[in-house]
Structure 1
Amino acid sequence: MEAEFKITRTSREIYARLLDNYTLEQLNKIPDGWNNNLMWHIGHIMVSQQILTYKGAGLSTTLSDELVAMYMRGTKPERDVTQAEVDEMKALLFSTIQKTEEDYRNGIFTTYNARKSELGFGLDTIEDAIAFNNYHEGIHLGMILRLKKLV
């Protein structure tokens, strides 16, 4: 699992650089033809990771209910985020993964509610969920690379 966590940490470093290198206006901009922005994708990958791991294991996420509601699958930006929210998001990029790693090593993921992802991937164990999360973050990174050219 160390390799999976290493991939997630590297992914999060890429997302953090985006937060550092784009203005608040750019992070909030929704280009013509799109229904989301850079900030939504970053929030979405964090919420999805928490749902895949913690909710999948029947546990509470480490994120607020408000944050989950803003960035879960099927949502879109309803308002611009503030700089304070961007700063919080940057901290959460790393703290959520650190907590997941600690919780995994401490054995809190004792059960997992097996299911198929929307794309058909079998998520039978917490290890499957962690691996699938990396795939999911890669999909959104690809979208961000396209989107950032438009902001």
Structure 2
Amino acid sequence: MQPEGFSNNIHWHIGHVLTANEQFLFGFPDNTEHLPEYYKDLFGYGTKPADWPDDVPSADELAGQLNSQLKRIKAIPEEKFAEKLPEAVLGAQTFGELAALAAFHEGNHTGRINAMKKVLNK
């Protein structure tokens, strides 16, 4: 359900955070992403639920992917955060700076999710 005044629904925001974190934290520079490629088509920048086909991943599938991703994030060696990127990504020069951008991005969407939950619960 998409509350009035919001451009996407909670399901999309969760999928988008998952997809963006995957790209930021595992796509640069190693390209070791684990999500199905079609997630980008559903949850990437500029996508919206109105364009979804009928077979969108369930909330349970997204939750499982988030748990798996969190385990992989926790397994990133600390020294990786100091590594320079081959080229700047969104202004980030190191993997740690890119991880900070991913965390900021996730916080932004988490705020939107929380706002939608409040609207939907009224």
TM value normalised by structure 1: 0.65
Which residue of structure 2 aligns with residue 130 of structure 1?
Answer: 99
Deviations along 1:70-116, one digit per CA (max 9) or x if unpaired, are 111111113487797211111111111212332x2297897624335
TM value normalised by structure 2: 0.79
Q: Read off the aligned partner of 1:91 and give its amino acid letter.
A: G
Q: Read off the aligned partner of 2:95 and give its amino acid letter.
A: I
Deviations along 1:13-38, one digit per CA (max 9) or x if unpaired, are xxxxxxxxxxxxxxxx1123322100
Cα distance in structure 2, aligned partners of 1:82 and 1:143: 24
- In the TM superposition, what are the counterparts of 1:1-151 in structure 2 within 5 Å? 29-77=1-49, 78-79=51-52, 85-102=58-75, 104-105=76-77, 112-117=85-90, 122-151=91-120
Residues 113 and 34 (structure 1 numbering): CA distance in 2 closer, same or farther, change over 3 Å?
A: farther
Cα distance in structure 1, aligned partners of 2:11 and 2:114: 13
CA-atom RMSD, angstroms? 2.8
Q: Read off the aligned partner of 1:126 and give its amino acid letter.
A: F
Q: Read off the aligned partner of 1:42 and give its amino acid letter.
A: I
* Gapped regions of structure 2 (runs ≥ 5): none
Q: Quick one: percent identity of the two aligned structures?
A: 25
Residues 145 and 70 (structure 1 numbering): CA distance in 2 closer, same or farther, change over 3 Å?
A: same
Tell me if structure 2 keeps the 8 A contact 1:57–1:111.
no
Between Structure 1 and Structure 2, which shows a larger proportion of helix residues? 1
Q: Size of the alignment, in residue pairs?
A: 118
* Gapped regions of structure 1 (runs ≥ 5): 1-28
2:16 alignment partner, SS class: helix
Cα distance in structure 2, aligned partners of 1:44 and 1:149: 20
Deviations along 1:102-137, one digit per CA (max 9) or x if unpaired, are 2x22978976243353xxxx3111111112211111
Residues 101 and 34 (structure 1 numbering): CA distance in 2 closer, same or farther, change over 3 Å?
A: same
